[in-house]
């Protein structure tokens, strides 16, 4: 039996829709600028830039439905509504036409971003970790097995703040659809069961503050809601 110098931290996990079981989270990959309109609002040309990935710690992911404290070190906390892919069967160099066989299910997530820290990192040529990987920065609604909903390639993805729609697009507007995202990610790392992939956000991202209610939906998949609490 393995002996540790102190008890290891609990395994990060996400609820599963309609079940008492939970999905164990191994790693979290995120795709940057996967919707053309969002790429343009961030000052980039979607026609010229290949997809890129960044990561969050596994324990940055949390269940949605509650209150998330406004994080420290920022004055510009942004929301990014995203389709989340849950990997159930690992592999490397997966071809796009085989990607769906590796997907366990789907969910709705919000990539919370300390935008001012991200901009500072960009300006100084530094990594984004402090902007993207802080505590509770990846709330995810209960995951839905692909055996229940199939593998959606279209459907409305939207988010409102205090009842006002801020993001409103369709999954079909992704520059790189899910099958390509899984394939591209697997070329760089060997995917394994428990990996999550946040697949990018539509245009309309913006700042939120303490007391704001964020409500999102991905048609046919899930709804998500979180409240931003007082500063941590």
For 72, the 3-state DSSP assignment is coil
The answer to the question of residue 5 being in a domain is: no
Distance, C-alpha 204 to centroid of its chain: 16
Q: What pTM did the predictor assign?
A: 0.95
The answer to the question of residue 140 being in a domain is: yes
CATH of residue 65: 3.90.850.10
Sign of torsion, CA 32 198 146 183? positive
User: What span, in angstroms and rounded, lies between the C-alpha atoms of 143 and 19?
Assistant: 10
Report CA dihedral (54, 59, 65, 70) to the nearest 10 degrees.
-80
The answer to the question of residue 3 being in a domain is: no
The answer to the question of residue 179 being in a domain is: yes
pLDDT at residue number 38: 54
Q: What is the DSSP string of 6-25?
A: SPPPPPPEEEBTTSS-EEEP
The answer to the question of residue 33 being in a domain is: yes
The answer to the question of residue 32 being in a domain is: yes
User: What span, in angstroms and rounded, lies between the C-alpha atoms of 44 and 22?
Assistant: 38
61: nearest Cα among 214, 195, 221, 201: 195
Q: How many domains does the chain have?
A: 1
The answer to the question of residue 174 being in a domain is: yes
Instruction: Assess contact for 197 and 36: CB atoms under 8 A.
Output: no
Instruction: Assess contact for 138 and 28: CB atoms under 8 A.
Output: yes
Instruction: Assess contact for 157 and 218: CB atoms under 8 A.
Output: yes
The answer to the question of residue 4 being in a domain is: no
Q: Can you give the residue range of the structural domain that contains 58?
A: 13-231
Q: Is 179 left (phi over 0), alpha (psi -120 to 50) or beta?
A: alpha
pLDDT at residue number 45: 61
| Lookup result for tokens 């709705």 | 108
| Lookup result for tokens 């509650």 | 66
pLDDT at residue number 119: 95
Average pLDDT of adjacent 10-residue blocks, the chain of 232 residues:
92 97 98 75 62 94 98 98 98 98 98 97 94 98 98 97 97 94 96 98 96 98 98 85
């Amino acid at each position: 039996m393995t002996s540790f110098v102190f008890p290891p931290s609990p395994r990060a996990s996400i609820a599963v829709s309609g079940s008492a079981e939970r999905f164990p989270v191994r790693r979290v990959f995120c795709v940057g600028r996967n919707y053309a309109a969002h790429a343009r609002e961030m000052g980039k040309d979607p026609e010229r830039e290949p997809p890129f990935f960044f990561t969050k710690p596994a324990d940055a992911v949390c269940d949605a439905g509650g209150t998330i404290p406004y994080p420290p070190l920022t004055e510009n906390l942004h929301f990014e509504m995203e389709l989340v892919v849950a990997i159930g069967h690992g592999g490397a160099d997966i071809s796009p036409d085989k990607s769906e066989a590796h997907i366990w299910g789907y969910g709705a997530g919000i990539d919370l971003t300390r935008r001012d820290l991200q901009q500072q990192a960009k300006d100084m040529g530094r990594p984004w970790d402090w902007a993207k990987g802080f505590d509770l920065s990846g709330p995810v609604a209960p995951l839905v097995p692909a055996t229940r909903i199939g593998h959606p390639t279209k459907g409305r993805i939207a988010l409102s703040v205090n009842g006002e729609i801020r993001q409103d697009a369709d999954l079909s507007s992704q520059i790189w659809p899910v099958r390509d995202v899984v394939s591209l990610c697997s070329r760089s790392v060997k995917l394994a069961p428990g990996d999550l992939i946040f697949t990018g956000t539509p245009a309309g991202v913006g700042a939120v503050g303490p007391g704001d209610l964020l409500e999102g939906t991905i048609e046919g998949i899930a709804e998500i809601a979180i409240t931003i609490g007082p500063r941590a």
